[in-house]
Each structure stands twice: as C-alpha cells, then as structure tokens.
C-alpha cells in the first residue's frame, strides 16, 4: 500500500500503579484505514494503554500524537471531540436509559433553536446506526434489560455515531457469538474502508487473523513487536505473548459421564425461553451454544436460582428441587460463574481475599468466627492455582485486569466446592495461557465427578470442551448434538437457521 497515513502515534508511554508498572515506554502507531490488533496476556497493559489514548487516564511519561500533533493530557470528552472514540471492556452504559438515549448520549439531536432533545430524531438516528450495524434492537428498549452481548452492540453503535478518526475497541467480541462477531467484523472493515484507524483488543486469536492488518504484542507493559498479520502465525503470537511455547489448548475429552444428576423439564419463562428440557450427567461437560439473546444465560440463571423460571421442574438426583433463589441452589451444591462480571460478579471495593471466600465463609470459619489465617491460605492456593496476577490477595478486585477478575470469580466458585457447576462464558476475557489452565481445571473437576453446564459463545471452546452440546435458538432448544456430530457447521446451522 502506498500513501500510508499515520493517524495516531504513541511514543514512549509509561504508566505505573502502586506496586505495578503497567506500561513501560510503549511505542506504536495506527494508520488511517487499518485494523491494528493489540494482544497480550491478562495484565499486560492493553486496557491501560487504551484508557490513556482515550483520555480516561493520564500517562506518567510519553506522548500521544494525532495527525501530526502532540495531544495535551485531556478528558475523554475532549478526546472524543478530536475524533478518538473508545468502546470499553467493562461497559459504562446507563442502565435506566433506552438504547437510543445511550447510543446518542452527549451527541443528541436537538430541536431547531432549542435545547430540547428531539426524541423522534433521536430514535430515528439510533435506528439508522443500529441498521448500519445490522442489529435489530429496539431503540426504545431499556439497556438494563439487555444482556452483555446486546449491550456491546449498543456500545459500538455509540462509537459509530461519532464518526471517529480513531476507534479504540477493548475486547468488543468477548460476549459475542460467532454469528454476531461476523457482523462486528463487517462493520469494522466498513469503518476501516472509510479511513478510520481501529485499535482492536481481543484474546481470541482466530478473530485477530480475520480482522487485523497489523498486530502489536505487549508483554509485561512493554512492546514486544509490531508486524503485518500476514507475517505471523498463531504459535509465534502465543509464544511472544506468553514468553514460552504452549501445549494444546483443549485437553482430550476422553472420559464418559455417569448417571443423570440434574434434569430440567419444560422450563418456561414467557417471552424469554420455552419448554427447555435437558439432562446433565455426573462427570459431564454439557455445552450450551447459541446466539446472543437465545436465552442460554437465562436458563443458566434459572438453574442457579438467580432468576427462577415461571414454570417447569428441576430434578436433582431424581428428586424434585425447589430453586427459588441463589441460596437454594448453593445448598443443593449448584455453583454459578456469572457472565455478567461487572454487575453480578465482583464485589468491587473489596480485596481478592473476600471476593474468593464470600459464598463459602463456612469453609474459613469455626463457630461463626472467621479464621483469617485459614482464609488467607485457601485464597493464596486459589490465586496460585489459577495464576491470578496481583500484587497481593489484599488488592482490590476492581484494580485487577479484566481477565484476572474473571480468574478470581472462578476461584470463588471452586472454593465453594459445588458439584454442579454452571459456568457462563468461563473464559471471557481470559488470555490463551490462563485459558488452557482453566480448561484443564474444568476437566479435572469433571473427571472427579462434578457436572458442568457451560454456556459459551466461543465456538471452538464449546466444541473442544463438551461431551454434548445443547443449541438454543430464540428461547427454544433447537437441537442437542453429541460430540461426534458437533462441528462448527452443525452448531451454527441449528443456532442461526431460518426464523420460525
Ligand atoms: N486502577 C488500577 N490500580 C492499580 N493497578 C491497576 C489499575 N488498573 C490496572 N492496574 C494494573 O495494571 C496492569 C495492567 O492492567 P490492564 O488492565 O491494562 O491489563 P490488560 O492487558 O487489559 O489485561 P486483560 O487482558 O486481563 O484485560 C495489571 O497489573 C493491573 O492489575
Ligand atoms: Mg483489559
């Protein structure tokens, strides 16, 4: 390509937090019309870098240049006016506002001459932007009623509304299924073709190979390399990210499940899911695949007591169970790893230690008294086992990188020792290295007799880890595939085929 125009340049950016050097003299650049992927392990500094570019954080040293001019430190609003827009990893939408209001927040059409927001124009504009994304979301729907996948699309529509010169995307696909990712891919390519420079963070390498033109690898806050994607392969990226070679990602699923442990019969929540019947066996990993909005998370929440079904029955060991709230599920040995880390998962201002033990305090207490030494020991074990990167177990969970927060939540579920595990997007935001460890961990649990219901939008993951796959579409079970018949095509055909 001739005429390469650099829109954004990052020169020697450094940033420290107490106890960590998050970025150490990072240098890279973004060209007009390119998709520049930023990859690295959990805690490598990717989000911190984008936050500095978007104006949300100030660097300790270094410069950011936009179209040949050094930018002064400034706020996100000022950076947005200059044409730098960001889609955050943890979504900052306003739950009580509508989809349309969120998309055009700070950018609302007003009535001629007036200060009043033009509601009709607002909805029309929002509908247009959603149309561009190929998303059929109702502009009037409240964001609080949407799942993370749909929220992500709203976030992207919001960035689209700004017609940015530089678009920063922090794990935009983490809660999207393969089908939704296709759409995102198209929109990203379209924006790039219009000249927007795009920075794209993702832990899913197959996506990087689909969307990226160039790739910058970060390790421990330092730039390792920047290359054209055509000059890289998967193994090179992984070994540069992790600093060593990695073995197979998915462990062999080579054991057979035992007798039935849980059975769901005709679970129904009108308008959300209908007539959901399936069984889960001892030692089984049962995958739940489907598009965003197919109802998988809602079914998982019903089993875990977080949001009960309106009708239908659940049997545990052939006895009917009443699961009306999370406490009921916990007592029955059912543990949940929620997809919605931010609002349902982490207890933001508390340390890793408390976040790990919170739902099984009995394991670290005697006669109702907390045994701090025992608690610390158990938490340290989990932190080590899951390779949580933190300065200490007393660090606030909200200061950890996204993937490390996810590992703490997984640690909480394991700490509780449940024998039926409901895991919703278990490796969302988790890097390749840690992901392999989580898979090995899930396998060990299942081999030891735990039953695992795994909702996942990551197709290779569902295929690689499940004994059987339940495919949901539009709130119903579209089919159940055995390991031998499950392929990307057969799953996608059931998940996305003709509207009925
Ligand atoms: N507000 C903060 N206070 C203290 N430490 C922080 C804060 N924000 C980030 N860090 C630390 O800075 C480092 C880089 O974090 P960052 O979120 O940029 O990683 P990341 O590459 O985005 O990881 P992930 O893939 O898990 O999202 C981590 O060690 C993290 O714990
Ligand atoms: Mg991050």
- Pocket test residue of 16, 22, 89, 386 for ligand 1, highest count of atoms within 8 A of CB: 22
Asked if residue 317 has pLDDT above 70, the reply is: yes
Give the CATH superfamily of 6-242. P-loop containing nucleotide triphosphate hydrolases (3.40.50.300)
What is the rounded CA–CA span in Å between residue 198 and residue 140?
A: 29
The highest-confidence range among 113-122, 194-203, 289-298, by mean pLDDT, is 194-203
14 CA distance to ligand 1 middle (Å): 13
- The domain segmentation of the chain, as residue ranges, is 6-242, 260-333+418-496
Say what the pLDDT of residue 89 is.
Answer: 58
What is the rounded CA–CA span in Å between residue 37 and residue 199?
A: 6
Q: Which of these, 333, 274, 282, 329, lies nearest to 298 by C-alpha position?
A: 274
- Pocket test residue of 15, 217, 398, 401 for ligand 1, highest count of atoms within 8 A of CB: 401
Measured from the CB, is residue 338 less than 6 Å from ligand 1?
no
- Pocket test residue of 48, 51, 397 for ligand 1, highest count of atoms within 8 A of CB: 48
Say what the pLDDT of residue 499 is.
Answer: 43
In angstroms, how far is CA 484 from the centroid of its own chain?
28
Decide if 253 contacts 285 (C-beta within 8 A): yes
Decide if 170 contacts 87 (C-beta within 8 A): yes
Structure-token pair, residue 13: 């950016």
Q: Express each pLDDT in 365-383 by its tens digit.
A: 777 777 788 888 888 888 8
Measured from the CB, is residue 217 less than 6 Å from ligand 1?
no
Q: Are strands 166-170 and 84-87 parallel, antiparallel or unpaired?
A: parallel
What is the rounded CA–CA span in Å between residue 316 and residue 265?
A: 11
Q: In this structure, which ligand is nearest to the CA of 43?
A: 1
357 CA distance to ligand 2 middle (Å): 24
> What Cα–Cα distance (Å) separates residue 281 from each residue in 100, 257, 294, 424?
44, 6, 23, 18
Asked if residue 91 has pLDDT above 60, the reply is: no
Measured from the CB, is residue 175 less than 6 Å from ligand 1?
no
Q: Express each pLDDT in 471-489 by its tens digit.
A: 999 999 999 999 999 999 9
Closest C-alpha to ligand 1, atom 25: 42
Say what the pLDDT of residue 248 is.
Answer: 67
Q: Express each pLDDT in 21-79 by its tens digit.
A: 999 999 999 999 999 999 999 889 999 999 999 999 999 999 999 999 999 988 888 89
- Identify the CATH number of the domain defined by range 260-333+418-496: 3.40.50.300
**CATH topology match: 6-242 vs 260-333+418-496:** yes
8-state DSSP, 292: T
């Amino acid at each position: 390509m001739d005429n390469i125009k650099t829109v954004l340049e990052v020169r020697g950016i450094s940033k420290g937090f107490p106890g960590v050097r998050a970025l150490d003299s990072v240098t890279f650049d973004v060209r007009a019309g390119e998709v520049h992927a930023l990859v690295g392990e959990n805690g490598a500094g990717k989000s911190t870098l984008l936050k500095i570019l978007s104006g949300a954080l100030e660097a300790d040293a270094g410069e950011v240049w936009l179209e040949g001019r050094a930018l002064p430190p400034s706020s996100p609003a000022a950076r947005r006016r200059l044409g730098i827009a960001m889609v955050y990893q943890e979504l900052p939408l306003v739950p009580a506002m509508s989809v349309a209001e969120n998309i055009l927040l700070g950018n609302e059409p007003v009535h001629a001459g007036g200060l009043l927001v033009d509601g009709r124009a607002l909805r029309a504009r929002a509908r247009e932007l959603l149309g561009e994304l190929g998303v059929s979301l109702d502009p009037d729907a409240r964001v609080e009623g949407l799942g993370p996948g749909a929220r992500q699309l709203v976030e992207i529509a919001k960035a689209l509304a700004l017609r940015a010169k530089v678009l920063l995307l922090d794990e935009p696909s983490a809660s999207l299924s393969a089908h939704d990712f296709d759409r995102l891919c198209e929109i990203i390519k379209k924006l790039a073709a219009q000249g927007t420079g795009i920075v794209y963070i993702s832990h899913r390498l197959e996506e990087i190979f689909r969307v990226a033109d160039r790739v910058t690898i970060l390790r421990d806050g330092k730039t390792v390399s920047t290359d054209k994607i055509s000059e890289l392969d998967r193994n090179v990226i992984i070994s540069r990210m992790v600093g060593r070679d990695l073995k197979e990602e998915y462990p062999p699923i080579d054991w057979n499940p035992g007798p039935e442990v849980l059975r769901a019969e005709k679970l129904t929540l009108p308008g959300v899911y209908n007539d959901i019947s399936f069984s889960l066996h001892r030692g089984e990993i049962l995958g739940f695949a489907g598009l965003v909005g197919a109802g998988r998370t809602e079914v998982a929440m019903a089993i875990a007591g977080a949001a009960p079904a309106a009708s239908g029955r659940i049997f545990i060991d052939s006895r009917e169970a009443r699961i009306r709230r999370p406490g009921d599920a916990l007592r029955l040995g059912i543990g949940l790893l929620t997809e919605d880390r931010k609002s349902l998962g982490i207890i933001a201002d508390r340390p890793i230690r408390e976040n790990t033990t919170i739902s099984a305090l009995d394991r670290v207490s005697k006669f109702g008294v907390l045994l701090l030494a025992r608690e610390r020991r158990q938490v340290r074990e989990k932190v080590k086992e899951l390779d949580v990167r933190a300065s200490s177990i007393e660090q606030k969970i909200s200061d950890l990188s996204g993937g490390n927060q996810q590992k703490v939540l997984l640690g909480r579920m394991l700490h509780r020792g449940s024998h039926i595990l409901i895991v919703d997007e278990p490796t969302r935001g988790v890097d390749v290295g840690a992901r392999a460890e989580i898979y090995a961990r899930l396998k060990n649990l299942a081999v030891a007799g735990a039953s695992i219901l795994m909702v996942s939008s990551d197709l290779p993951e569902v295929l690689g880890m499940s004994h059987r796959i339940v495919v949901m579409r539009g709130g119903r079970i579209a089919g159940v595939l055995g390991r031998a018949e499950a392929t990307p095509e057969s799953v996608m055909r059931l998940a996305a085929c003709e509207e009925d």
